[in-house]
Amino acid sequence: MKDMVECRARLAGIFNITVTPFLADGAIDKAGLARSVERVIGLGYDGILIGGTYGEFPAMSPDERAELFRTVMDVVGDRVPVMLCSAASDARTARELTQLAGDLGGLPMVTPPYVSEVTDGQITAFFKDMAPLSKTGILIYNAPGIGITLTPELIEQLAGIPGVVGIKQGELAVTAIDKIANRLGGRIKLFCASDLAFLGPMMAGFDGISSTNSCALPEVILATYRALEAGDANTARELHKSWYAFRELARRHGQPQMVKAAMNLRGFDGGKVRLPLRDLDAVATAEVASMMQALAADPHTGVTLKA
């Protein structure tokens, strides 16, 4: 993407949150990552997200993250929009990665600074500093899981910053979604950050979703989104219900380790997680395998397992 105008025009639909596959020695499996990216592009996903929270960015050095950005953009080119997570606890790192992401033609995804007792005024000043660094603008990531939750009122203020093209909303309380959809719809692009419960935000008027579980279940999650996009809420609901058991295990075992285990069972390039996360043990992996076999037995899901 060459600028903010193009970015705004293309920023919609279902984005795959691509996990970062690590080898046994801890190195990034670049070949496996490329295969994962090609898989979801080939299936028809509207975009991808690289190096986010489920991409394990806190476990990578700034240099590794920069190399991850370059590697993926070389693979993708300009075929689909790419969100590149430039979040960091050190504002200097966030600045460097935000500028690099924009220079590469991606859209930097920036969280608020996750330090103790940061004020709304300091958060606003931070995003005002970040937005001009990228020719494609920035996507604000409201990520409660890393310690700070932006209120709808603060998000509305941030939406007025030149260069803010969208919000990836991870706080999915009904009131927050209602306020954001109705106050900001049409002003900036609105993305639901979770595929666990995206039907509501999309019905409220959000522009798209991002999905980590689609790394393991790309067919059924894409079909769910396309059904909803086409106005077929009944089909979308039934497809979403079909992988409820997967979501239950994901909540129990944690992400991205659960997704990677399921990917590996399918012969996909899930790889390993990095410390402080741990790969699933044999008992948990067997539980995932049993659940995946049940999914594969359902002809509506399109899920297959490796021989």
Active site (catalytic) residues: 141, 168
Question: In this structure, what token pair is assigned to residue 174?
Answer: 């009904």
Question: In this structure, what token pair is assigned to residue 295?
Answer: 């999914």
For residue 10, give the amino acid letter: R
Please count the residues of the chain: 307
Name the residue with tokens 């966030």. Answer: 94
For the chain, give the secondary structure using H, E and C. CCCHHHHHHHCCEEEEEECCCECCCCCECHHHHHHHHHHHHHHCCCEEEECCCCCCHHHCCHHHHHHHHHHHHHHHCCCCCEEEECCCCCHHHHHHHHHHHHHCCCEEEECCCCCCCCCHHHHHHHHHHHHHHCCCCEEEEECHHHCCCCCHHHHHHHCCCCCEEEEEECCCCHHHHHHHHHHHECCEEEEECCCCCCHHHHHHCCCEEEECHHHCCHHHHHHHHHHHHCCCHHHHHHHHHHCHHHHHHHHHHCCCHHHHHHHHHCCCCCCECCCCCCCCCHHHHHHHHHHHHHHHHCCCCCCCCCC
As a whole number of angstroms, the distance between CA 125 and CA 132 comes to 12
- Cα–Cα–Cα angle for 20, 197, 144, rounded to 5 degrees: 60
